[in-house]
Structure 1
């Protein structure tokens, strides 16, 4: 009798497990919001709302452009670009590849240290791949060049990328305010 109870309880827990997991996922994708993604294609439209019936308000022309997902609807993501514009994009246009936007010229250093030698210089408006972040610095890559850049001079990272809580993150402008640069065509 005890064995039957254990089997019934195990079966019930197994059946309920997917339902419990789905309750934890408060977005259609199951991924947290906010988060960063990048533009998967070289040209895409941003719309006023989450369907093709909504008016196109932006045309993005930079593959790899980092975008902050701020909300979700089934198949659609509300995103903010580095210039602060907010649009809706179909999920098929977006990639989980992490990139960052360089609002002003930035030096890539060989170590996460302001006194370390400079490996390369990223021009304003450059898009680089994000490798990892630690201690207020992020390791980036572009065209075979790797280097460390201070996190407060790039756009496209979360507080969790730096191991910070939300209160600490507000002290970094790069995490809260987009730079005033054009990144798309109207």
Structure 2
């Protein structure tokens, strides 16, 4: 498993979780504190208020994970505040299409920053749900995809 990062970046298996690092996960709760270090003794740098927000796990300890958020900020969160990836962020205005092809009719226009529930992925497209809308978005318009997400 790898993530869509710089080519040649080394992926390691964490001795703590047994999962690859780096990897994408999602925030489990609608309120998660991001701290400047891996303990509650460290100051809160960010308070995330968006359950499902995809984050990139870049380092781990037994109980903590250093994450990078979609804006590029890096903080530490308690590992129990994370869950398997289930959401992605739309990175640029794009069309939510009926089928996984460029010429397919659009269902809606998605703005950058929209949080979408990830349904499945194919080679170049991912099926997502945003509110009552479900359709296909091209992968380059999404942030938070592990490269093995084709088998979701």
TM-score (ref. length: structure 1): 0.69
Q: Which one has a larger percent helix, Structure 1 or Structure 2?
A: 1
Pair 1:158-2:150 in alignment: no
Q: Distance in 2 between matches of 1:151 and 1:140?
A: 11
Matched residues, number = 140
Q: CA deviation at 1:74?
A: 0.6
Residues 27-61 of structure 1: per-residue CA shift (max 9 Å, x gap) = 31111112111111112111111111112111111
Q: Distance in 2 between matches of 1:140 and 1:154?
A: 10
The question of whether the paired residues in 2 share the 8 Å contact of 1:136 and 1:150 is answered with: yes
Q: Which runs of 4+ in 1 moved over 2 A?
A: 24-27, 158-163
The structure with higher relative contact order (CA 8 Å, sep 6+) is: 2
Paired residues for 1:1-186 under 5 Å: 26-161=14-149
Q: Structure 1, unaligned stretches of length 5 or more?
A: 1-23, 164-186
Q: Which one has a larger percent strand, Structure 1 or Structure 2?
A: 2
Question: Whose Rg is larger?
Answer: 1
Instruction: Give the CA RMSD over aligned residues.
Output: 1.9
Q: Structure 2, unaligned stretches of length 5 or more?
A: 1-11
The question of whether the paired residues in 2 share the 8 Å contact of 1:79 and 1:89 is answered with: yes
Instruction: Give the structure 1 partner of residue 9 of structure 2.
Output: none
